[in-house]
Amino acid sequence: MTKIFLLLNQDESENTLKPILEKNSFETMCSVDEIDDILVQIHNFMPDIILIDNDFNNCEYVIRQIKSNTKNQNIQFILLLNNDKKTGFMNLVDGLIVKPISEDILISTLNSHLKIKKSLDRLYENNKELSRSLYQLNVLYNTSSQFAGTLNTSKLYDIMIEAMEKTLSFDISSVLVYTSSKNAIFKLNTIHTPAQNLIDALKIRSILNYKNVIENSSIQIGEFSDIEVIQKVKQARSNKIYGIESINFDSLFAPIKVGEDFFGVVELFRSTPFCSEDVTCFQAITHQVALPLRSAKLYEEISITNKKLEKLEKLKSEFVSIVSHELRTPLTPINNSLEIVLSGQAGVISKDAQNFILMAKRNIQRLSGIIEDLLDLSRIQAGKLDFKYKIVDIAPSVELLQKTFLQVASEKNIKINLDIEEKLPEIYADTRRIEQILTNLVSNSIKFTPQDGTIKVSAHTVDADEINFSDLIMPYIKPNGKYIKITVEDTGIGIKKEDIPKIFDKFSQIESSLNRNACGVGLGLTITKQLVDSHLGAIWVESEEAQGSKFNVILPLVDKIKMFEMDLSRILINNEDTGIIRLEANKDLNLINSLKENKLLNLSRLSKEIEIEEDGKIIYYTFIPKITSSSFEALISTIKEYCSKIKKNEYDIILSKAHSKNDGVDACDIIKILNISKENI
């Protein structure tokens, strides 16, 4: 029924208007009270239309007061005005009826304003729903980007609950998720403190829901033996407590799952009823969280598999190493026995017997060579190969090749020509490893070069710009600066184009169908590449089938900084867990200085903290997230905080300057911290 609130003079309302209105089945209410009372009455009565007489006490003020409440914004105001009067607030009211009142005009005016009121109400409701949906959409949108940003399961649930809190303003949320087949976590988020019996009831309810869902699907899950309860109360200080009866609040329930992957159940309770939009929003959030949960689960599985693989890889290396050691021992008496027989000390042997024993001895040598290669490879892969780096001249190593291969090469009448630059500059290298690289390449060339061929070995200085890197397979570093380039060029069978990319792969031996008159396990080139990589060099091959091959190796000229970084990265590989690099390079001040100037940023990629000892002072360089505040005090406190993390030492003081560069470590400031012992001050 339409409600009309009358603000008229006593007699007028009681005697004339009220009967007319009631006759036309309007519900009415009259008031002549003070404004405060009127507001209360309107609040309770909730009228559609207010009829107010121009002569009503403080008429304009009363209208303004009523309108100031936004809840009343749709109420239609109709002013009753005497024929001979004028009013100054026509803009405040929606309609006007001139006295004396005609019943027809009154009723038709009321009816048309009623239509306006109803339309406004509908509009208002729609608008409210729209803005609510818009808000929910906004939250959903933000939530989905938050979901996408993490693979941490527990964080994902927190984001989910937060999103539900924002969009659905629940009183209580209960989430039950399983962590492993036997354990589960029960998360309870409430506005006010819940009573213990409510907690227990909700827990049992969640478990029942959980089992229900599982029974309805094909998923098998073990019984929960242990449920951890995590409870969060938003307004813990308020006196209000949710009793057991809160379980009768309106509730929303959903399983958290995607496809066959089931993660848990979530239920919300709210003292006010949920509407259909709330249900949609709730479902959207539970769907949204399930996908990243699955990713997180997969990620976890991959991490575990990865760890297993790493362990396996390590085991494999150890296995190879042990087996190789074991193989060498029996080879020794075999070799000795053959040698005894060959020497004639155990009796005279025929010429043929001698040849066969020599053949056996050659193959023992080959076998031990293969074992050596296997060992090297397993050591390289385990990061256990020791390098004894020195500044060396490698020219003698290249020259040595002619002597080493003299006999083998002459058997096939292969010439080995050397072309070494005079006064070849020094490099920072392990001579024995360089010799291994050269020997591997040359013996490989001899293996694949037919009778009467030629092998040319050359060593020259080159600039990185002169090198055509399109030939370079998987460059270890982007070369720059000066290098020694060693090439081993043969007139052998060459390599097919499609085989070139895999030539440095483990165990790959290029099949050369008819011309295959050489054999080997093909570990040599793999080891060679690893050794070259360890020297911060690069290796690549140029070849054409039947035209011969040209292997190129470049090794960087002595660059202490580079070498130092190389040492450093090796240290870090061996001490993965320590975040601090300690440099005891106090003997070489130039090195430290150039490090400070140029290389700190690069080092910071390797470690968060660097410690350099210099003149008895320890200087820490620490890389901390960008300090946004510009105040000096803030800077100091941030530094102190980081210092306490580095070491518990007191820092006597601190800092040269904070600077940052856009060099891959952006969002980092570098802080230099001096730790000066007290005696030195």
Partner 1 sequence: MKKILIVDDEKDIVETLSFMLKAKGFDCICAYDGESGLNLAKSSNPDLVILDVMMPKINGYKICRLLKFDNKYKNIPIIMITARSQDEDKIIGEETGADEYITKPFEFSDVLEKIQKYLG
Q: Which residues bind partner 1 (CB under 8 A)?
A: 325, 328-337, 339-340, 343, 345, 364, 368, 372, 375, 379, 385-386
Distance in Å, CB of 227 to partner 1, minimum: 54
- Residue 191's nearest CA partner among 247, 231, 140 is 231
Torsion angle in degrees (nearest 10) through CA of 562, 564, 566, 569: -130
- Residue 187's nearest CA partner among 289, 295, 299, 271 is 289
**Closer to partner 1 by Cβ: residue 329 or 468:** 329
- Residue 180's nearest CA partner among 141, 221, 236 is 221
Q: What is the largest CA-CA distance in the chain?
A: 154
Q: Is 169 left (phi over 0), alpha (psi -120 to 50) or beta?
A: left
- Please give the Cα distance from 181 to 201 (Å, whole number): 23
Asked if 443 and 414 touch (Cβ cutoff 8 Å), the reply is no
**Closer to partner 1 by Cβ: residue 105 or 334:** 334
- The single-letter DSSP state of residue 557 is B
**Closer to partner 1 by Cβ: residue 62 or 371:** 371
Distances (CA, A) of 136 to 165, 166, 226, 275, 389: 11, 8, 36, 13, 64
- Residue 20's nearest CA partner among 118, 113, 80, 110 is 110
**Closer to partner 1 by Cβ: residue 275 or 346:** 346
**Closer to partner 1 by Cβ: residue 430 or 609:** 430
**Closer to partner 1 by Cβ: residue 208 or 340:** 340
Distance in Å, CB of 370 to partner 1, minimum: 12
Q: What angle do CA 232, 284, 137 make, to 5 degrees?
A: 90
Question: What is the helix (H) or strand (E) element at residue 543, kind and residue range?
Answer: strand 538-544
Distance in Å, CB of 636 to partner 1, minimum: 47
Distance in Å, CB of 382 to partner 1, minimum: 12
Distance in Å, CB of 369 to partner 1, minimum: 11
Residue 402 in tokens: 């002619």
HSE-up of residue 248 (Cα within 13 Å, Cβ side): 3
**Closer to partner 1 by Cβ: residue 323 or 472:** 323
Distances (CA, A) of 422 to 206, 373, 394, 458, 463: 83, 33, 12, 11, 17
- Please give the Cα distance from 304 to 312 (Å, whole number): 12
**Closer to partner 1 by Cβ: residue 90 or 346:** 346
Distances (CA, A) of 83 to 10, 21, 61, 154: 20, 21, 22, 74
Distance in Å, CB of 364 to partner 1, minimum: 6
**What are φ and ψ of residue 85, in 5° steps?**
-105, 160
**Closer to partner 1 by Cβ: residue 301 or 318:** 318
**Closer to partner 1 by Cβ: residue 197 or 332:** 332
- Please give the Cα distance from 246 to 268 (Å, whole number): 11
- Counting Cβ atoms within 10 Å, is residue 164 exposed (0-12), middle (13-18) or buried (19+)? buried
**Closer to partner 1 by Cβ: residue 1 or 348:** 348
Distance in Å, CB of 335 to partner 1, minimum: 5
Distance in Å, CB of 552 to partner 1, minimum: 28
**What are φ and ψ of residue 520, in 5° steps?**
160, 160
- Please give the Cα distance from 231 to 364 (Å, whole number): 72
> Which segments of 184-230 does DSSP mark as H helices, in order?
196-216
**Closer to partner 1 by Cβ: residue 345 or 662:** 345
**Closer to partner 1 by Cβ: residue 259 or 330:** 330
Distance in Å, CB of 378 to partner 1, minimum: 11
Distance in Å, CB of 368 to partner 1, minimum: 5
Distance in Å, CB of 441 to partner 1, minimum: 20
- Please give the Cα distance from 572 to 515 (Å, whole number): 46
Distance in Å, CB of 330 to partner 1, minimum: 8
Distance in Å, CB of 403 to partner 1, minimum: 17
The answer to whether the peptide bond before residue 479 is cis (omega within 30 degrees of 0) is no
**Closer to partner 1 by Cβ: residue 196 or 345:** 345
The one-letter amino acid code at 645 reads K
Asked if 658 and 627 touch (Cβ cutoff 8 Å), the reply is yes
Torsion angle in degrees (nearest 10) through CA of 470, 474, 480, 484: -90
**Closer to partner 1 by Cβ: residue 35 or 342:** 342
Distance in Å, CB of 381 to partner 1, minimum: 15
Distance in Å, CB of 412 to partner 1, minimum: 23
